[in-house]
Amino acid sequence: MKSIEEIRADFPILSKKVYNKDLVYLDNGATTQKPVHVVNKIEEGYYNTNSNIHRGVHFLSQEATEAHENARKRVQRFLNANKSEEIIFTRGTTEAINLVVSSFGDKYLKEGDEVILSEMEHHANIVPWQMLRERKGIVIKVVPMNDKQELDMDAYKRLFTDKTKFVSITHVSNVLGTVNPVKEIVKIAHEHQVPVLIDGAQAVPHLKVDVQDLDADFYVFSGHKIYGPTGIGVLYGKENWLNAMPPYQGGGEMISHVSFDKTTYNELPYKFEAGTPDYIGSTALAAALDYVEEIGLDNIAKHEHELLEYATQELNKIPGMKIYGNAQDKSGVISFLVGKIHHYDMGMLLDKQGIAVRTGHHCAQPLMQALGIEGTVRASFGMYNTKEEVDKLIAGVKRVAMMFE
Ligand code: PMP
């Protein structure tokens, strides 16, 4: 296994100086940095194999098509999907959720039907449902949290009625780090014959996901949060559902035959991939997954967990420290506030010390409302963060706290 020094050497940006200080990058929940393997793959794609895929008879087009389809198989293996046709490339988590909401919602949901979300959802898993509510009059129900910011599973069970038609819940909260019991969530929904979408944006970079074991009907994630490129993401869907659902966007590639009288649609996965796909991004995403699996998700999880435990223990020693998210099962994310210091001031003053954290509502305003705050400071860890960086964060937070004393 690679040492942490070797891993860090794979990410050139980590040796950057900001304000003449070593960059301490603790904003991995927003996006991760990219190893040379991924950037090289993008360069190689554009320099060596670039050609529009699927429709070409020539050598380059066939090579590019093969690379794109191999990337699909790579994602299939990564998620342990049953078939590569169940892997749809999208622009990211947001587009994948919008696809399901639009396509499934158009066909299967009608006025009065109920969809279950949770209090800790990212806006990407709230707003598309609200837009569907405006179009169709569906009802959104919300699973509350307990005082450790875990989902209240008894309340979840009580939300089901004979009108419940869909459950859409995050695997890991981007604000709290809470790892939700998604296997149980799916099992309970299936007892009511209700399909489930799991938002895996904050899960796949940190823990091993097996969609068949979870029995999720849909599972979505973004490339850029798992050391891959921006602009590419994944929708996994069970073949039966994807076959039954109508296309999301119309255009080239998603058709089988077009005439002005009637158009027939292509088979999976192409039915859901209108237009030229990001075939360079897909191959670079596959390189990112290779990289992650070479390091090993178990090793990554263990390392990030050590950082989380250490950071939590030390931050909690700071007077006025309040950490939001105290779940038993938690990933490497710490949201906090210190006394009355505004999250934005804390973020700016940490930045001046070279420490990159995120501040604000983290695209989870309903969660902020539930917590009774406007925002938090969030430090989120990746595979390349070190204990020394956590020490810098702690020293930085202490320094800011002293300035406000
Ligand atoms: N869901 C969760 C839990 C997220 O953390 C994010 C990104 N912050 C998203 C969805 C949206 O991802 P993207 O912007 O890559 O589509």
Give the N- to C-terminal CA distance of the chain in Å, as an integer.
45
> Residue 374, SS3?
coil
CA distance 321 to 313: 11
pLDDT for residue 79 = 98
Q: Which amino acid type is present at position 141?
A: K
CA distance 34 to 27: 13
Give mean pLDDT in consecutive 10-residue pieces for the chain, a chain of 405 residues.
Answer: 96 97 98 98 97 90 96 98 98 98 98 98 98 98 97 98 98 98 98 98 98 98 98 98 97 92 94 97 98 98 98 98 98 98 98 98 97 98 98 98 93
What are all long-range contacts of 263-267, with beta carbons under 8 Å and residues at least 24 apart?
A: 267/85
Ligand 1: residue whose CA is nearest its atom 5: 174
- The verdict on whether omega for the bond into residue 269 sits within 30 degrees of 0, i.e. cis, is yes
Task: Give yes or no for residue 67 CB within 6 A of ligand 1.
Answer: no
Residues forming a β-bridge with 188: none
Residue 92 CA: nearest ligand 1 atom is 16
Residue 173 CA: nearest ligand 1 atom is 3
Kindly state the tokens that stand for 44.
């190689």
Architecture of domain 4-30+296-403: Alpha-Beta Complex (3.90)
39-293 in CATH: which number?
Answer: 3.40.640.10
pTM over 0.75: yes
User: Which DSSP string corresponds to 26-66?
Assistant: -BTTT-----HHHHHHHHHIIIII-S--SS--SHHHHHHHH
If you measure from the C-alpha of residue 203 to the centroid of ligand 1, how many angstroms do you get, rounded to a whole number?
11
Query: Which residues are known to be catalytic?
Result: 363
If you measure from the C-alpha of residue 27 to the centroid of ligand 1, how many angstroms do you get, rounded to a whole number?
13
- Vertex 299: Cα angle to 331 and 205 (nearest 5): 45
Of 32, 90, 94, best ligand 1 pocket probe by most atoms within 8 Å of the beta carbon: 94
User: Which DSSP string corresponds to 74-103?
Assistant: HHHHHHT-S-GGGEEEESSHHHHHHHHHHH
Any residues with CB less than 8 A from the CB of 221 and at least 6 apart, and which? 93, 96, 200, 201, 203, 204, 233, 234
Query: What CA dihedral angle connects 374, 377, 382 and 385, to 10 degrees?
Result: 180
Domain boundaries, the chain: 4-30+296-403, 39-293
Query: Which helix or strand (DSSP H or E) is residue 257 part of?
Result: strand 255-258
Is residue 315 within 8 A of residue 323, CB to CB? The reply is yes
pLDDT for residue 1 = 81
If you measure from the C-alpha of residue 324 to the centroid of ligand 1, how many angstroms do you get, rounded to a whole number?
19
Q: Which amino acid type is present at position 371?
A: L
If you measure from the C-alpha of residue 225 to the centroid of ligand 1, how many angstroms do you get, rounded to a whole number?
8
CA distance 58 to 2: 40
